[in-house]
Amino acid sequence: MPVRHFLFSAMRIFFLLAAVSSLSAQNVTDALRYSFFEYGGTARFTSIGGAMSAIGADLSTASTNPAGIAWFQNSEYTITPGLLNTTTQSRLLDGLDAPLLEDQRGTFNIQNLGMVFVSKPQTGKWRGANFAITFNHLGNFNREFSFEGVSYGSLTQRYKELANSGLGLNDYETSLANDASAIYDFEDDGVFEIDYDIPTQTPYLFKEQFGTTRGSMSELSFSLGANYDDKVMFGFSVGVPFFSFTSDKTYQEEDDTNIPNGGAIPYFTDLQLREELVTTGGGVNAKFGIILRPHQHFRIGAAVHTPTVYTLNDNYETTLTYNYYEDAKEEGAFLGKTANSPGNFEYRLNTPWRVMGG
């Protein structure tokens, strides 16, 4: 194609000032996860980093600039398998000589699947009116991470701060900590305390966490493209993105006598927090695009994406186990308590407007 000689890199402009509206029940991490796309597609699309805003004639453009659908001269179908590998590096912040741990996760998926139907009207300068149905990969959530090390501080300090604030005992964190005896109100005066507050010396704790996330985001698109005199291409598509996301994290703390100042907390032995989350959802958006070809070797492309309106469902379960001694470690009975907090949320998320140019 002529554009091989004059290819302009695509730029993506995200209007973050309109970033998230109608968001409830969840946090910024969730909003970014479902708003930031890692566009996948055909081998051709992937090999040039998705810089096809002005090139077209590729089914992947249904999720970026649908005007590219108008460039097709013949009907065709595509299928593109892909192998994705993700490397994650993690380190315990403020840890005492904490190592940098590296984890890898490989997955196989379908990057693109679709077909385009081409018609060539013989009226005036209209050269083509094309319809496409495509399935494109938008995001990969498959990752593993881990960290370990020793440092000051304890997760129980967070629980104590929240419980003694205006939040009090809530269903998700502080009530869980209270039921597991990670925080306690001995005086029954509404002021919570923790074992970490009464050490014989300032103690380090051994900490580690293992986490796995799984899932992906894809989009089913229905696109129309029209070609006027091989000079102007118009495109419109309706996208139906859908995804699944699963997260499983286990965090542990231990008052270990083998670390500096270890074993200094009279009652506390160790705790384990496990967080499991399954999120599913889908949405809808629209995309409008145009490609101009004022010269054989020069094209300009632009596209506007409306916000995606998602409906999401979270199923989560949090389990906290707290092991301690009723009295001092030397003479007290060893006890352990486990508290569980399952739950479900349904909520909406509107992602930002997007503009692409090339």
Tokens of 188: 């029954």
Domain that holds residue 105: 2-154+194-357
Q: Is 208 exposed, middle or buried (0-12, 13-18, 19+ CB in 10 A)?
A: middle
* In-domain check, residue 178: no
Tokens of 20: 């998230």
- Cβ atoms of residues 219 and 135 within 8 Å: yes
- Cβ atoms of residues 111 and 81 within 8 Å: yes
* In-domain check, residue 296: yes
* In-domain check, residue 173: no
* CA end-to-end span of the chain: 17
In the numeric block, the tokens 């998705």 are attached to 50
Distance CA 177, CA 188 (A): 16
Distance CA 349, CA 315 (A): 16
pLDDT for the residue 18: 32
Distance CA 139, CA 124 (A): 42
- State the Cα angle at 354 between 350 and 230, rounded to 5°: 135
105 φ, ψ to 5°? -140, 125
Element (H, E) at 157: helix 155-163
| Region of 261 on the Ramachandran plot (φ > 0 left; ψ -120 to 50 alpha; else beta) | left
Distance CA 193, CA 140 (A): 42
pLDDT for the residue 307: 94
* In-domain check, residue 35: yes
Quickly list DSSP for 1-25. -GGGTS-PPPEEEE-GGG--BS--S
- Cβ atoms of residues 173 and 225 within 8 Å: no
Q: Is 54 exposed, middle or buried (0-12, 13-18, 19+ CB in 10 A)?
A: buried
* In-domain check, residue 247: yes
Q: What are the C-alpha distances in Å from 344 to residues 110, 158, 180, 319, 357?
A: 30, 23, 21, 15, 40
Amino acid (1-letter code) at residue 147: F
- Which DSSP category does 32 fall into? H
Can you give the length of the chain in residues?
Answer: 358
Summarize the chain as % helix, strand, coil (round to 5).
15, 50, 35
- Cβ atoms of residues 343 and 172 within 8 Å: yes
Scored b (16 or more CB within 10 A) or e, 262-276 reads bbbbbbbbbbbbbbe
Neighbour tally for 139: CB within 10 Å: 20
* In-domain check, residue 161: no
Residues 6+ apart with CB under 8 A from 121: 128, 129
**pLDDT digit string (tens) for the chain, length 358 residues:** 333 332 333 333 232 223 333 333 367 787 788 888 888 889 999 888 888 889 989 999 999 999 999 999 999 999 999 988 899 999 998 888 889 999 998 888 899 999 999 998 777 888 889 999 999 999 999 999 999 999 999 999 999 999 999 888 887 899 999 999 999 998 888 899 999 887 767 789 999 999 999 999 999 999 999 999 999 999 999 999 999 999 999 999 999 988 887 888 888 999 999 999 999 999 999 999 999 999 888 999 999 999 999 999 999 999 999 999 887 666 668 888 999 999 998 999 999 999 999 9
pLDDT for the residue 330: 67
* In-domain check, residue 341: yes
Element (H, E) at 43: helix 43-47
- State the Cα angle at 55 between 62 and 32, rounded to 5°: 50
178 φ, ψ to 5°? -65, -40
Q: How many domains does the chain have?
A: 1
* In-domain check, residue 310: yes
